[in-house]
Homo-oligomer: A and B are copies of this chain.
Amino acid sequence: MPDPHGSLPAPETDPAFLDSALAAADAVGFVAVGNRFDDGLRYLTRFSGPDRNYAFVYADGEAILCAPALFTEQAEREFAGTVRTTDVGDPTGIRAANTLSDLGASSGTVLVPQSIPHDAAVHLEQAGYDLESTTAVADARLIKTESEIDCLRRVQRAAVRGMRRAEEILAAAEPMDDELIWQDAPLSTERLRRQVNAELAVYGVRDAGNTVIGAGPTCADLHYTGMDVLRPDETILLDISPRGPHGYYGDLSRTYVVDSNGGWERRAYVAVEAALKAGLAEIEPGAHANEIHREAAAELTAHGFDPNADEGEAGFTHGTGHGVGISLHEGPSLREPVELESGMVFTVEPGVYDPEQGGVRLEELVVVTEDGYETLHEYPRSFTPRAD
């Protein structure tokens, strides 16, 4: 069957990575329960699933998906292991317990993610299992395979197209009476966002509600998605994080100023770009993730910005980056002293904000390689929007 994303195959997850966690805990099996919004479950099963709960069970080297009603065909198409339909309709925790038992694991310790739904946990306990939580899935997700990196590159290509569309519109917009006019009407964050999201859709990915555009002061509000008129000589901050092939996310941020008179915007842009470069320069296997944050923050300090501001204050109000994969936010965090390894994928995204002035953030998505890092997209940075 042809794939909607061209020749890009779904990444595969070999559940045998769970064996060492099971052995270490002397556990008889692993169970995860959740719905389509549980990214750990999607990583384990590649099943894009429904909005109701289903279960993944692993024991004795065998992986079983307890398929939800009406989703058997989709589960069989997407999941590489066995799809179980015998007790469709029973609560998911009970189905998981039945499955463990059928696999010969009728009692003992079962490993689960710590946020497994409470009702499923209670059903497993009532069936005689002791539950112990594990971070094995999150740990495995830290290192991306070539196939996962291909998915990330592909969705990042869509993010680039969305950003190009925005930059092109901003370059064509004309200042008039302290507003930016595009195609004979004032340009707002919402109008620009719709254009970006339409471009993402045409390219076959979803905006996933993650296209954040701030204008002037609202740039300082990290998750602003309201409707402001865009103005000349103000920062316009775009953070585009679409979800693409097989559920992998892209992430790309740029900040532009149309008709700048210099001032705070220019000074902030120079500082953030220097911080970005300083952070990127730290990336190599064996380095620690928090060194990237430290170097970026030091650069911002050198440019006169507070590197430890609280949200709503002037300065750098967030961390320098986060892992990206089948979740938009996953490990590693660049606040933690995690040792970098080849195959880790994360953002580097310093920013400075001033509720009175605006906000500047620049973000690149990188993968750690054997001898440094590779950026997962090609897109120039520019303070002034480029027409082409």
Contact = CB atoms under 8 A, between A and B. Distances in A.
Given A4-B227, A207-B201, A207-B206, A222 B70 contact: yes
A306 interface: no
A166 to B, nearest CB: 13
Interface string A34-71: 01010000000000101111000000000000000011
Contacts of A203: 194
A225 interface: yes
Question: From DSSP, what is the main secondary structure of chain A's interface residues?
Answer: loop
Contact of A223 (B2, B71, B201): B71
B226 A4 contact: yes
Contact of A115 (B3, B117, B199, B228): B117
A115 B327 contact: no
A123 B223 CA distance: 29
B115 A115 contact: no
Copies of this chain assembled into the complex: 2
A114 B203 CA distance: 39
Nearest to A125: B118
B52 A329 contact: yes
Interface string A191-216: 00011011111111011110000000
Nearest to A6: B227
B221 A74 contact: yes
A119 interface: yes
A72 interface: yes
Nearest to A53: B115
A72 B4 contact: no
A204 B189 CA distance: 12
Contacts of A82: none
Interface in A95-119: 112, 114-119
A311 B72 CA distance: 8
A19 interface: no
Nearest to A69: B311
A1 interface: yes
A159 to B, nearest CB: 14
Contacts of A115: 53, 117-120
A34 to B, nearest CB: 9
A2 B243 CA distance: 28
Interface string A67-88: 0001111100000000000000
A243 B207 CA distance: 12
Contacts of A195: 202
A276 B317 CA distance: 55
5 contacts: A48-B209, A115-B118, A116-B118, A194-B203, A198-B199
